[in-house]
Structure 1
Amino acid sequence: MIDKVKLPEVWLRGPLNDIPALLQPVAHALLQAREELNELMVDFPDPLLWDKVAGLASPGFHLQHLAGVLDRLFTYAKGEGLSADQLTYLAAEGKPAETIGSTALVKRFNLQVDSAVKQLANTNQSTLTDKRGVGRAQVPSTVIGLYVHAAEHTMRHLGQLLVTVKVLKQEL
């Protein structure tokens, strides 16, 4: 077996092409999360997908939420409201879906990260302090506030997913 070369963390690999300078940390965090999540979920047993540890959220919830929250926050950053499909997805987060496996949930997250990075690349830095409303109540934020929160929220849930998955695998 050939040992896999361990790359430095994404932020230590240099600037990303086409990403505005002020948004580099957001893109780095999202790409780092994707790498870690994909490595973590290799060969994860689907029967454990909706199991909880100490009553906390299941891996299935975290995987659904990671993709969903990125989609929603980046939608708000564009100055748009949520679509009916996004609201339906939100309502389903955390509800066990036996027809959805971890591979499909990881793929959805990966596609959402791709979409987010593309949006970052197409963001004009002069709009970063533009006001944006969040949710039905239109809680005030800014474009950069939404992007930074999306990155930190992603990393927070990745950390929770990491612990949950490791504990569940130990219980096998």
Structure 2
Amino acid sequence: MNTSNKPEVWLRGPLPEIPDLLQPAAHALLQSAEEVQRYTEDFPEKELWTKPAGRASVGFHLQHITGVLDRMFTYAEGQALSDLQFEYLQNEGRASEEIKVDTLVKAFKEKVGEALEIFKNTPEDILAKKRTVGRKKLPSSVIGLYFHAAEHSQRHVGQLLVTVSVLKLG
């Protein structure tokens, strides 16, 4: 889908079935998915785990944004992370020739799709419900976790763009 001539997602209007209070988070996640797709087109597989100037690799950013979405939505449900989620977290950024760019992009886009389905089924009256994060049980709320998932994705997509740009120049 070529989105380069379209306005940013948030300027395209409300998303059907998404509650009003979750529109900004949904827009940000969709923007992230579009940008990830665009920035990784024709990205060389051999550079997936390269860390320019010791910074995080493209592979790390792709794994991390997917993992953060999964973790934040687990916390929003009031659940603790599973052993599988901890294992995924520990392996974020671990180089593997078997992992491909397209696979990581697809996983992120699927996770964004899952997030949008959750948003569609989230009554606005639960958004202020208190939730905790991590083993330290740090305070948050359902909407706080949803917002963090979206803004954290945006932050890492920006870092991914810089890393892709540097690697394509080199």
Q: TM-score, normalized by length of structure 1?
A: 0.95
Cα pair distance change 1:4/1:87, threshold 3 Å: closer
Residue 112 of structure 1: how far off its partner (Å): 0.5
Q: What corresponds to 1:157 in structure 2? A: 156
Which sections of structure 2, spanning at least 5 residues, go unmatched?
none
* 1:72 matches 2:74: no
Q: What corresponds to 1:166 in structure 2? A: 165
Q: What corresponds to 1:62 in structure 2? A: 61
Rounded Cα–Cα distance in structure 2 between residues aligned with 1:142 and 1:91: 25
* 1:46 matches 2:48: no
Residue 83 of structure 1: how far off its partner (Å): 1.6
> Is the 2:45–2:101 contact (alpha carbons within 8 Å) kept by the matching residues of 1?
yes
Amino acid at match of 2:151: E
Residue 88 of structure 1: how far off its partner (Å): 1.0
Give the secondary-structure state (helix, strand or coil) at the position aligned to 1:44.
coil
Give the secondary-structure state (helix, strand or coil) at the position aligned to 1:54.
helix
Pairing 1:1-172 to 2, within 5 Å after superposition:
6-171=5-170
Cα pair distance change 1:4/1:69, threshold 3 Å: closer
RMSD value, Cα: 1.2
Give the secondary-structure state (helix, strand or coil) at the position aligned to 2:132.
strand
Cα pair distance change 1:31/1:119, threshold 3 Å: same
Rounded Cα–Cα distance in structure 2 between residues aligned with 1:94 and 1:137: 24
Residue 5 of structure 1: how far off its partner (Å): 6.4
CA deviation map 1:55-86 (0-9, x unaligned)? 11000100000100010001111111112211
Give the secondary-structure state (helix, strand or coil) at the position aligned to 2:131.
strand
Rounded Cα–Cα distance in structure 2 between residues aligned with 1:147 and 1:52: 29
Stretches of 4+ aligned residues off by more than 4 angstroms: none
Aligned residues: 169
Rounded Cα–Cα distance in structure 2 between residues aligned with 1:144 and 1:4: 28
Residue 122 of structure 1: how far off its partner (Å): 0.8
Amino acid at match of 2:114: S
Amino acid at match of 2:18: I
Cα pair distance change 1:132/1:167, threshold 3 Å: same
